[in-house]
Structure 1
Amino acid sequence: MSINEKELLRSAARLVDDGLMAFAALDSALVARWRYGALAQWIPLEQPICSATPAFIGLETDLLAMQDDAKTTFALPKIGLSALKGQADKISMEVFWRSCDETYLLVISRLGAPMELEFELTKQIRARRIAEDNYRLAKEQMIEKQQLIDLVIDHAPAAIAMFDREKRYIFATRRWSEDFGLGREPLLGRSYKDIPPFAHAPHLALLDECLSGAIAATGVAPIEVADGRREWARFDHQPWRRTDGGIGGAIAFGELLTETVENRRELENRNADLVRANEELEGFASIIAHDLSAPLRAIQYALDEAKKSPRDAGDHTSRALAHARRMETMLSDLLDYCRVGGQRASFAEIDLVGLVGEIVTSLPGADRFDIRVCGAPQVIRAAIAPLDLALRNLLDNAIKHHDCGHGVITISVVNCADVWEITVADDGPGIDPAQHDAVFKLFQKTAASRETPGSGVGLAIVKKTIEAQGGAILLVSNPGAQRGSAFCISLPKSQQSDATLHDQEKLGFVHIL
C-alpha cells in the first residue's frame, strides 16, 4: 500500500472515530461496519432507529437494514472492490445512520472517498447539540423562574390579584383567597364579576375606572366575602401596561380592616362613654351643689330653730326628719340612675298584657284608672328589664299627676322594621312643650307636679335606660290644643352591637384618584 493510501486510510479512520463520538451523544443512531464486502458489525447507539437481521452478518450484501415493520428497506450502493484489487482484505467501511430533524442522513466512509459529508454531519450534530443544550437550559431557567413566581404568589403576605382587560383572573395570592373566602378553588381565567364580593356594582365600577387608566381606591367599606362572612376592607386598583404602552388589565390590592374598624369603634365608644361620664359628673356636681344642699340647709335651719325654741323643738325636729328622708330618697334615686347602663339587658318573649297587669297591681291608685293594652302583636321579643322599668315609671307618673284622680291610660305597640314602638298615653293635664326637655333631667319637676310625691328622677332613669339599649323616648304633649301626654318608646328587636354605631357613610366608600 502506498504512503498516500495509508495516510488516506488513517484520515478516514480519524473521521470515522470523530463521527462515532458525535453519534454516541445523540438520542438515536447506529453504526454498521463492513469488511471484505460483507456486513461485519451492527451497533445501535442509544435508541436504534432500525435493525438488522443477524443472518446478514458475514454475508456480502448491499442490504444495510430493514425496519422491524418490514415496510422499508435501506440499500447500500455497490462497493467497487475491483478498484482495489489485492487490497480487499484491508478494506473496511463504516456507515452512520442518524435521524436529524426528522430527516434521515446516510453517511458512508470508505477507502478513497472524500470525507466532506462526515465533516458536515459532525458540524450539524454539534450545532444541534448546542442548540438543544441552550433550549434545555432556557427551559430549566423558565421553569425555575415560574416556580419562584409561584412561591412568591403563594406566600406573599398581602392580598393581591391581577386581571386582564376582560376582568379575568391572571393570578391571585393565597392571602387574597383566604381573606376573601375563596378557598383554594382555581381562579385563573375566571371572571372578577362572577366571584363575591367583587360582583357588586361599586367594585366593578372601580375596575372600569382602573381599566380606563385611573388609580381607583375604596374607602373602608363593608363587604360580604364568598364564604358568607361580613368584613370591613379597602381596595386599591392600579392599571398595568403592556410593552406597547397599552393597558393590559388591572392589579388589585386588598386589605381586611375588620379588626382595625372594631378597635376604632371601641375607642370611639370609650371616648363617648368618657364624655357622657364627664357630663354626668358635672351634672352630679350641680345636683350636689344645689338639689342635695337644699334639704341639708333645711335640716340645719330646723335644728337651729329647735335649739332657739325648745318649746317648738318637736315640730322643728319633725321637719328636719322629713327633709332627711327626702334627701335619703334623692340619694337612693341618684344611685339607681348611676347603675343604669352598666350591662346589656337580656332579651325574652314578653306578654304585654301580663306585664302591665303585674305592674298595675303594685301601683297605688291604679284601680281608679282604665288601663288598656291595644295594638298587635301583644307578645313581643325585647329587653325585658328596660321595658318593665319604663312602663312602671310612665304608668306611675300618669296616675300620680292626673288632675282628676281617675282616667284612661292606653298602652299601644307598633311593629316597625327593626324596633318596637310602644306608646303610653293618658288623658291628664299634659305637659307644657317648653318643659319637654327638662322633665328628662335629674330632679326636675314641672310646676304642676311639685306638690306630688317623688324626687323627679323617674323620667331621667327611663330615658337613660332606654338609650343604653339603643332605643329612644319621645314626649308628645300640647295642653293648649289637647289634654293628655304620650310617651313614645322605641326598643330594638334584637341585641344591639357596638358595630352598628357607625355606618358606611361615616367611614366612606369610593374615592377615585
Structure 2
Amino acid sequence: MIAKVDLASIGPVPSQDIQLCFFQCKLNSAGEISILNIDQNCWEVFGINRDDIIADAHNLLALIEYGERELLTGHIYRALNSLTNFEWHGMVATPAGWHKQIKAVGQCSGFENEVLLNGVFADLTILADLRTAVNNNNQFLSQASKLAKIATWEIDLQTGVVKWSDGMSRLHEMQPGGMIDIESAIVFYEASSRLVFKEALDKALTVGEPYHIELQLLTAKGNLIWVRSSGSLMMEKGKPYRLCGVLQDITEQKQIEERNSVIFEQSTDAHLLIDETGIIDCNNAAVQMLRCENKAHLLSCHPAIFSPEYQPDGQKSIDKAKKMDSLAYEKGTHRFEWVHQRMDGKEIFVEVTLNAIAFNQKRVLLVVWHDITQRKKAEEKLKRNESLLSETQALTHSGSWEIDLKTGRNFWSAEAFRIFGLEPVGAGPDTEEFDRMIHPDDREKYINAIKQALKGGLTSNFDLRIILKTGELKYIQAIGKPFYNDQGVATRLYGAIIDITKYKKAEEAILMKQAQLNTFIEVSPAPIAVFDKEMRYIAASDLWKQDYKLERKNIIGVCHYDLFPEASLHWRQIHERGMAGEILSNTEDSFVRKNGRTQWFRWEIRPWFETDKEIGGIIMFTEIITDRKLAEQALIQAKEQAENAASAKTQFLSTMSHEIRTPMNAVIGFTHLLLQNPREDQVEYLKILKFSGENLLVLINDILDFSKIEAGKLEFEHVDFNLKDLVRNIRAAMQQRAIEKGIQLKLLVDEDLPQAVIGDPVRLGQILSNLISNALKFTSVGKVVVSASLVSRNNEYTIVSFEVKDTGIGIPTEKQQAIFESFTQASSDTTRKYGGTGLGLTITKRLLEMQGSAIQLDSEPGKGSTFSFNLQFKNSELQPEALNVIQPPGIQGSLKGIRILLAEDNQINVLLARQFLKQWDVECDVAENGLMAVELAQSNLYDVILMDLQMPEMDGYTAAEQIRNLQPAERFRKLPIIALTASAMLDNKDKAFVVGMNDYISKPFNPDELYRKIAYYSKKSKNSR
C-alpha cells in the first residue's frame, strides 16, 4: 500500500508528473549507437529537442555523468549484441542546469535482420514526483517504483502500526504482504547504520526534522545492501499523526561510486573536478604530476595557473583555457594537448580530456591529464632525427632504400628519388623500372651482389652506373643487407645508396692528371724524380735516368737505395728531413768522382702532400752544373784580374796624381806668391805659368774624376748652400779669362730662384765650370751667357734650369754625340788648336746622369752652341745668411793669434805654406813626420793641424788617429785636423774622415780655400775651449 506524500515539504520541482520518454535504438555500420526514434517527452526529461537526439546520439549521452555514461553505453552494447534486456540508473544534467536522476530499462528484439532496442527513460528525480504519479495512476507508480527500486513505508503514530509497500518486502527479500513492527524493521540495519537510523528517527519524532541518510541493510537472505532512507513527519491540526518514508536500493549506485572512486584515486593519470571557482577535487596523481606538497595547494586554483604564460601556439594559457572549458561545456567532452608547468619550474606535456558532468546538483568538468612528455620528447627526437637524416642524406647525396622480397616493391627516401632524377612521389619505382635505369654492363654485377647478400646474409657493397631519364650517366655506391623473420626467411632487403659521381669524375681526373704528370716528368728538360715515403720511385724524367744511368731499368716502384746502395748517410738524412716537411736546396754542391774529377751540381728536395697535412713523399731535382761552374770560375778569375788591373790603374793614378801634384803645388803656389808683387817684365810670363799649371791641374782632376766614375765610387753630398752665390762666384772666377779673350761673360739669374737649397755644390760648380770653360775656350768673338731659371717648386723640391750659351765655333750634328765620349773631341784639329783631354763633357754628362738629369745640346757650326740641363734640389729651411757662403778670391784678412801645426815632409811644400801663413799672420810649427806631429800636438796648444797623409816613420792617418786618443780627450777630440795632401783619390779622402780628420784640401791648394778653412776651423776651435 502506498501512502500519500506531502509535496510541499519537498520544495519546488521542475515537473508535477513523472516523465517517461520511450525510445528505440540500434548499432549503425560504424558500430556506434544510433537512436532511431524517441518521443516528444525528451524535451521534458532531458531539455533537448527530439531532432537533435536522432541526428546525433552524443547530444543525449553528453548530458550523463562520465562514469554513468560509460555504464549506460556498455549496457546498450551488451543488450544489442546478446539480445538481452538492460537496466540502468544515473544522473543527468540538462542544458538548463537541472540535475535529474534517470532510470532506463530496455528490451531487445529482432526486426528485418536488425537488432533493435526498445526502452524507456523515467525521470525519478524527486520523491514528490512518485507521489503525484501514485495519485494520478497507482498502477503506473507501482511499476515506476519497481523500476527505480523505491519502496515506501509509514507508521501510524496513534496505533503504532507499520505499513510496508510490496517494494519494501522485495527490498528486504521477504514475502510481500507480511506485517512488521518498528523494532523488527530496525534490526535489519547493520550495527553502525542502526545507530544512525535511530538517531534520525528520534529527531524526526521529537522535533519534526526530516532526514535523508544512506545506510547499510542486511536482507532476510543475508545480503548486505546500501539504501537511501528518507523520512518526514506528517501533521494534522498541529499534531503529528504519521511518519512516512521512502527507502531506495542504491547498492548499484554505491558500487559505481566506489568503482569510480578507485579509478579516480588509483589512476596514474591526473583526475580533477573543476567548476567556475577552480579545482574542487583531484586525485593524488594530479598532486604528484604538478610536484605539489598536498592537495590543498591545488584546490580553488584554475589549472591554467599551473601553466607557462603562453602555450606553444602563442596563445596566452589563461585565455586558451577558458576557450577549452567553453568547448567542453558546449560539446560535453573535449580533448586537446597542453603544456603545464610544475612547481619546480619544469614544463610537461599532457593530453587533456574534459567531460562536462553533474556533481552535487551542478555541472562541473571532470579533467583528465595524461602525461605525454616522454612521448613528445620521443616524437620530437624522432622528428629531429628524421630531419637530420633527411638533411644528412641531402648533404651527402645519399639515400635509403628497402625492397619487400614478397611483393617486389621498393621503398625509397626522398634523396634516393633525387639521385635517380625522379620526383619523390609514392613509395618508389617497381623492380623492372629500377632495372632499366641500371647501366646494361652493370646489371649482372647488381644481380650477383643481391644474390650473394641473400645467400650469405652478409652486407653487400658495390658500385653501379645508372642512366637517368635525361640520359645523364651517374655513379652510385650501393650497400644492402637482408632482414630475416623468425623462421629464418629473408623478407626484405634494405640499405643505402650514395651518389659518387663527383668522386668518380674526380678520380678519373686525378688518374688523367697523374698520367699527364708522369708524362710531363718523363719529358721534363730537367732531372726530376718523385718518391713515396719508402723512397720508392713513382715517376722520373728521362734526364734523371740519363744522369744516373737508369735508362734500361724499370725503376717505378723500386727503392732508390736498392739502386744506389752506396748512398751516404748524409744524403739519407737529407731525404728524411724532406719526408718530415722541410724544403732543402743547395745551389752548389760537389763530389769527387772515381776518376778524381770534381763534379758540381745543384739540387732541391721538397715534400709532396697526399692531403692538406699528410706528406706522401718527396720530389727531388738535381742538375749537373760542372760546365757552368768551370765557366763561373773562369769568369771570377777574369773579374779578379780585371779588378786587379783596375786597382793597379787606380794605384797608378793615385801615385801619379801625388807625384804630379807635389811639384805642381810648388809651381802654382809660388806663381800665386810672385803674382802678388811681380816685376813688370815678368807679369806675362807668370800669368802663362799660372794658366798652364791650372790647366794641368784640371787635366789631372778630370782624369781622377773619370776614374772615380768608372769605378762607381763617386758620391754626392747633400748639404745646404746658397745657389745664387754659387753661380755668381763661378762667373766671377771665370770673368778674368773672358776679359783676357776680349769676350763678354754674362750671368742671368731668375729673381724667383731660391737662394738656399740642398744638393752638392761642388759637383754643380764642376759641371758649370766645365761648360763655361768650354764655352770660353771655343769662343773668340762675341759672348758667353750663363743663365739659371726656376722651372717648378713645391713643398719638398725645386727644379732649376741651367743654360750656357756661346757664339763660338759650333759643333756639326754628326759630331754632337761623339763629344760626350771619353777622350773624344769634335776633330783632331780641335785638340791641337784648343788643347784638352776630351774628358770634361764626358764627366759632365755622367755627373748629370748620376743625379737623374741629362745634358741637352743645341749647336750650329759657325754660330755657336747652347748646353742646358735641369737639376732637382731639395728645399732648404736655412736662411741665406746662415749659409757658409764661399768668399770670392782676394778677400783675405789677418789671422793673427792663430797657431798652426804643419805636418809635412816635403821642404818645398813647407816653404810655400809658411809663406802664405806668414802673410796671414799665422804662427806655424812644422813636424817632418807623423810621429813628430803627435809629440808636438801633445806638448803644445794649436788651433788647427794641417796634416800630410804620406810621410816617413808615421803616415798622416795613424798620426791623426793617435792625436784623437790623447788626453785630455775633450780637447783633442775637438782639435781641428785638415788633410793637406797631394793624393786626391776618393778612398784616401774617405779614410781621412774615418780616422777623425775634419776636412780635406788637395794639393796644389788654392790659397783662398786654405785661408777660408783655417779661418773657419780656428774660430770653431777657440769657441770650443
TM-score w.r.t. the length of structure 1 is 0.40
The structure with higher relative contact order (CA 8 Å, sep 6+) is 1
- Between structure 1 and structure 2, the one with the greater Rg is 2
